């Protein structure tokens, strides 16, 4: 069974940093691209970042470019999102998503809540 478990969320002050992790199991992690998707309270889904298998390519939404960094540790089946210079508008539940074939997300984690507030 595919499992994606996010961790690392919490309360942080504006300008602060957080590192989210996603532990993957039940599939060959190194063979899949992965996404981070977020959802602000009461709002819709917003794509954040994407990393291909082998970390060959990384893409970011304009709203986080230059502040967030996606990475992966295939030896330990982990996906990361380093978030710096956090803003109030980054407050959201952050989901880790497995991307199939040409890129659609077929499995989602339960999410981790990031709250940016003073």
Partner 1 sequence: DIQMTQSPSSLSASVGDRVTITCRASQGINNYLAWYQQKPGKVPKLLIYAASSLQSGVPSRFSGSGSGTDFTLTISSLQPEDVATYYCQKYHGAPRTFGQGTKLEIK
> Which one of residues 21, 30, 111, 113 is an interface residue with partner 1 (CB under 8 A)?
111
> Which one of residues 95, 112, 114, 116 is an interface residue with partner 1 (CB under 8 A)?
95
Which token pair is 52? 């291909």
* Minimum distance, C-beta of residue 19 to partner 1, in the bound complex (Å): 22
Binding window for partner 1 (CB under 8 A); candidates: 7-15, 57-65, 70-78, 79-87: 57-65
The DSSP bridge pattern shows strands 10-12 and 112-116 to be parallel
What is the phi-psi region of residue 54: left when phi exceeds 0, alpha when psi lies from -120 to 50, beta otherwise?
left
Q: Is 110 a residue that touches partner 1 (CB under 8 A)?
A: yes
What number of other Cβ atoms are within 10 A of residue 100's Cβ?
A: 12
| Shorter beta-carbon distance to partner 1: residue 85 or 110 | 110
What is the phi-psi region of residue 10: left when phi exceeds 0, alpha when psi lies from -120 to 50, beta otherwise?
left
* Minimum distance, C-beta of residue 18 to partner 1, in the bound complex (Å): 21
């Amino acid at each position: 069974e595919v499992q994606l478990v996010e961790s690392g969320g919490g309360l942080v002050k504006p300008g602060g940093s957080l590192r989210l992790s996603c532990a993957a199991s039940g599939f060959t992690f190194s063979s899949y691209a992965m996404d981070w998707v977020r959802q602000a309270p009461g709002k819709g889904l917003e794509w954040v970042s994407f990393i291909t298998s082998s970390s060959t390519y990384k893409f970011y939404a304009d709203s986080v470019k230059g502040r967030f960094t996606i990475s992966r540790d295939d030896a330990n089946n982990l996906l990361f999102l380093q978030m710096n210079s956090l803003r109030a508008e980054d407050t959201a539940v952050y989901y880790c998503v497995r991307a199939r074939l040409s890129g659609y997300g077929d499995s989602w984690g339960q999410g981790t809540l990031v709250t940016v507030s003073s």
